[in-house]
Amino acid sequence: MSSPSVPKPSSAVNGVLSLAKTSSSFANIRNGPGTQYTDIGDLFNNSIVTQYPESTRSGWIWIEQPGTAGWVSTSVVSFTPVATQNPSTVPTPYDGKIAIWHWKGTAIPEQTIQQFAQNVRKNTPNVRQIWVKIADGNTWQGKFDSGDLAVNGPADIDRWVNILGQHGLEFHAWIVMKGVDIQGEANIMIAAGQRQGVKSIIMDVEPYEHYWRAGKEPIRPLMTMVRQGLGTKFHIGLSIDPRRAHYSTVFPDEWRPFVDSVHPMCYWRTFRRSVADTLKETYEVWGGFGKPIIPILQGDAPLVDQQEAHMLATQQYKAKGLSWWRYGDTAQWAAVNTPIPNVTSPPSNGGGGTSGGITTDLTNTPPQGTAFAEEKVVFFGGDGHRSGTYTGQSEFIETSGAMTWKFRYVNTQETASKVWSEWKTVLPADGIYQISVFVPAKHATTKKARYKIHGIRGTKTEVIVDLNQSIYRNVWVSLGVFDLVKNQDNAGKVFLNDVTGEKDREIAFDAVRFRRIVPIKKDDPSPNPGVPIADGFDSPVFESVADANGTMLWPPGWRDATGFGRKTASSYISSWGSYHTGVDLNWGTWDQDRGKPVYAVASGVVIFQGTMRVWGNVTVIRHDPLRAADGPVYYSRYGHMQNVVVKVGDRVKRGQKIGEVGKALTVPNPAHLHFDIVRTTILETNPGDWPKMDLARLERDYVDPLEFIRNNRPKR
């Protein structure tokens, strides 16, 4: 029996942001300073954590990392402090506050400002600001929106300000700047900034089509008019793409005299980069601009990435405020609701309510918040899919992408549609669902795909979600989180046609994924509140049930031919110029193990299955949360199999046969099973990921399979 937990000591006051180095691939985090205490999590090598030197107790120290806090042994962990930024001393309206961006009413489930404000307060009580889009260039946003949430002028701004204020929320305006009609854009900014209760205006300046393409000449005349109308004390922010290649394209020197803060779009998932690299470049490029930096973080990214981004932005780079892009695109609220540390923020005015939209209570147990329950993937041409043409001709072009399944594409149309497609699933229950679409790397160049969602609570009509397919590559993209009614007409249907208003672009029609989201509460007596969980991990190979249940992880006759990470055999490194990400499991000699069965190491869902260059067959399983509905999610990859019996979207059980040992596609090696376990989402977008000699990156993403399984066996 383990000892009672020991909480964070009162002496743990001055946390030090540090890089943790573990003697193996990970160290145990325990709920007390000793091995007699319960193992509550893992601290992986090269993780960024906050450690408290004053908390040291007999060789144990208190640490905090996204999602976990507890004690680790200093005999197996060392820490190197991370250099931090000096915090800005210039005050802003965003200090100590969290903001959510709002794009337009037709892209979210709520039908009224009242419903919207109630749900923001219910789901994220620590959010204090809503940044509302009021215009696109010289045109009020209402032209592109409809209903109660549309902003058609100052009167609508007043409604927003008043209703948000009733719920303790501030109104901040944002506008896409174009520079084509500077008088018209200045007039809108001045009209908005002069309304009582408008706290600031953020200008979205991007060097792309439909954004700022007017060069530098209009900037000073435009901003001179704005400052003459609003004065020098009204706060104006500048929102930009922070990547180095885009710095000069937005003419920062022209904007600098007129703006008070910078809001970089730190969209690591969109950029296909790590959180740390994205923030590092942001501050390298814009740190010398001379204005406070308030990062915009990505709301549709995995929770662990969001938590890392929050920690690095506020603790390493000392951001005094944060915003999240955007409402209607965020699948979970735990990271969004995390307060800004060490920055004073005024108390909240309360709020609440449950009308329409997203009404689940996700705030009782941060940071876990929610979990995914049932999941369904609908493929083009598969069960639940229909499509057709309006021309009587065969318009769709079939192809396959990196994820190996088939999808279709056509050229975009300006006005008259030629094709249509719909994806539909039978909802298991009323509730909150994340709906995502897969955007392939090719034949997806449209910037204006218009997806229509049906069956949303509180409305009998569809909700339209515009998506810029061109910025994504082989990734699931969330259309939003919706409160769906099971028995409502067309509930769970997604519709898409080829009308985008564009010439000479292509629009992809690929898979759609429905995932039910359920809240997790600490006081829930059930160990599994509707969420499938993994009860542990076993070996991917065994000869009998006794082997599977035995203490030897690789059963008799099986051996690892390569070693993992820093333990990789020198002969392998010299031959392939790479550390190994997992294990190569062999039985017997040469091809004797060919045809031996391969089993799923834990329960989960197959997210990739196909043939890849060099690898041959590759299968990836995203496993259920480990041991608890809010537990960590791991991925396993099985390379070189033959006679695979599972496909993408299949749910598998621990010990279920998924294929047989086979051979690599082009390498004349003996038959074997390549097997690795991943703790990040890297395999979601790159099933063939291979870090080569980047040991730090390997240890960030991969775990030692032998060590991991040994520490996470099912209870028997």
Q: Is the pLDDT of residue 423 over 90?
A: yes
- CATH code of residue 255: 3.20.20.80
Same domain, 377 and 360: no
CB atoms within 10 A of CB 650: 17
Same domain, 109 and 161: yes
Same domain, 382 and 361: no
**H/E run at residue 310:** helix 303-311
Same domain, 287 and 384: no
- CATH code of residue 641: 2.70.70.10
Average pLDDT, the chain: 88
Q: What is the pLDDT of residues 1-56, one digit of tens each?
A: 567 889 898 888 888 888 899 888 788 899 999 999 988 888 888 788 899 998 88
User: Mean pLDDT over residues 283-307, rounded?
Assistant: 91
Burial of 184 (0-12, 13-18, 19+ CB in 10 A): middle
Same domain, 416 and 298: no
User: Mean pLDDT over residues 434-440, rounded?
Assistant: 90
Compare 716 and 418 and report the one with higher pLDDT. 418
Question: What pLDDT is attached to residue 369?
Answer: 59
Of 20-34, 116-130, 421-435, 472-486, where does mean pLDDT reach its minimum?
Answer: 472-486
CB 18 within 8 A of CB 51: yes
Does 539 fall in a domain?
no
Q: How confident is the model at residue 471 (pLDDT cuts 50, 70, 90)?
A: confident
Does 279 fall in a domain?
yes
Same domain, 348 and 413: no
CB atoms within 10 A of CB 180: 13
Q: How confident is the model at residue 528 (pLDDT cuts 50, 70, 90)?
A: low
Same domain, 551 and 619: yes
DSSP per position, 561-575: SS--GGG--HHHHHH
Does 329 fall in a domain?
yes
User: Mean pLDDT over residues 477-506, rounded?
Assistant: 88
Q: Output the six-digit token pair for 637.
A: 């990859």
Q: Is the pLDDT of residue 365 over 60?
A: no
Does 230 fall in a domain?
yes
Same domain, 490 and 348: no
Question: What pLDDT is attached to residue 371?
Answer: 78
Compare 525 and 594 and report the one with higher pLDDT. 594
How many domains are contained in the chain?
4
C-alpha span between 216 and 390 (Å, rounded): 45
Q: How confident is the model at residue 524 (pLDDT cuts 50, 70, 90)?
A: low
Q: How confident is the model at residue 432 (pLDDT cuts 50, 70, 90)?
A: confident
DSSP per position, 152-186: -SHHHHHHHHHHHHHTT-EEEEEEE---SSHHHHH
Query: What one-letter code names the amino acid at 615?
Result: W
- CATH code of residue 422: 2.60.120.200
Q: Is the pLDDT of residue 374 over 90?
A: no
C-alpha span between 96 and 323 (Å, rounded): 11
Q: Is the pLDDT of residue 525 over 60?
A: no
Q: Is the pLDDT of residue 298 over 90?
A: yes
Same domain, 231 and 149: yes
Same domain, 349 and 486: no
* Mode of pairing for the β-strands spanning 583-587 and 26-30: unpaired
Q: Is the pLDDT of residue 522 over 60?
A: no
Does 50 fall in a domain?
yes
User: Mean pLDDT over residues 288-310, rounded?
Assistant: 91
Backbone angles phi, psi at 412, to 5 degrees: -70, 155
Q: Is the pLDDT of residue 683 over 50?
A: yes
Backbone angles phi, psi at 305, to 5 degrees: -70, -40
Q: How confident is the model at residue 386 (pLDDT cuts 50, 70, 90)?
A: very high
- Percent above pLDDT 70 for the chain: 94
Q: Is the pLDDT of residue 348 over 50?
A: no
Same domain, 348 and 468: no
Q: What angle (nearest 5°) sits at the alpha carbon of residue 285, between those of residues 279 and 287?
A: 80
Whether the full predicted model's pTM is greater than 0.85, yes or no, is no
User: Mean pLDDT over residues 104-130, rounded?
Assistant: 91
User: Mean pLDDT over residues 492-506, rounded?
Assistant: 94
Question: What pLDDT is attached to residue 662?
Answer: 93
User: Mean pLDDT over residues 498-513, rounded?
Assistant: 95
Question: What pLDDT is attached to residue 1?
Answer: 53
Does 407 fall in a domain?
yes
Range of the domain at 702: 545-711
Q: Is the pLDDT of residue 88 over 50?
A: yes
CB atoms within 10 A of CB 588: 14
Question: What pLDDT is attached to residue 669?
Answer: 81
CA 1 to chain centre: 38
Q: Output the six-digit token pair for 580.
A: 């190994």
Q: How confident is the model at residue 349 (pLDDT cuts 50, 70, 90)?
A: very low
616 φ/ψ sector (left φ>0, alpha ψ -120 to 50, else beta):
left
C-alpha span between 55 and 510 (Å, rounded): 52
Query: What one-letter code names the amino acid at 303?
Result: L
Question: Of 176, 120, 128, 126, which Cα lies nearest the Cα of 149?
Answer: 120
3 state SS of 311 = helix
Question: What pLDDT is attached to residue 346?
Answer: 37
Does 529 fall in a domain?
no
Which of 365, 391, 414 lies at the terminal end of a domain, its last residue? 365
Same domain, 380 and 504: yes
600 φ/ψ sector (left φ>0, alpha ψ -120 to 50, else beta):
beta
Lay out the sheet containing 431-439: strands in order across. Answer: 370-378, 512-519, 431-439, 475-484
- Report DSSP state, residue 534: B
Does 625 fall in a domain?
yes
Q: Is the pLDDT of residue 277 over 60?
A: yes
CB 458 within 8 A of CB 356: yes
The segment with the largest mean pLDDT, out of 65-74, 274-283, 666-675, is 274-283
C-alpha span between 439 and 479 (Å, rounded): 11
Q: What is the pLDDT of residues 626-648, one digit of tens each?
A: 988 878 899 999 999 999 999 98
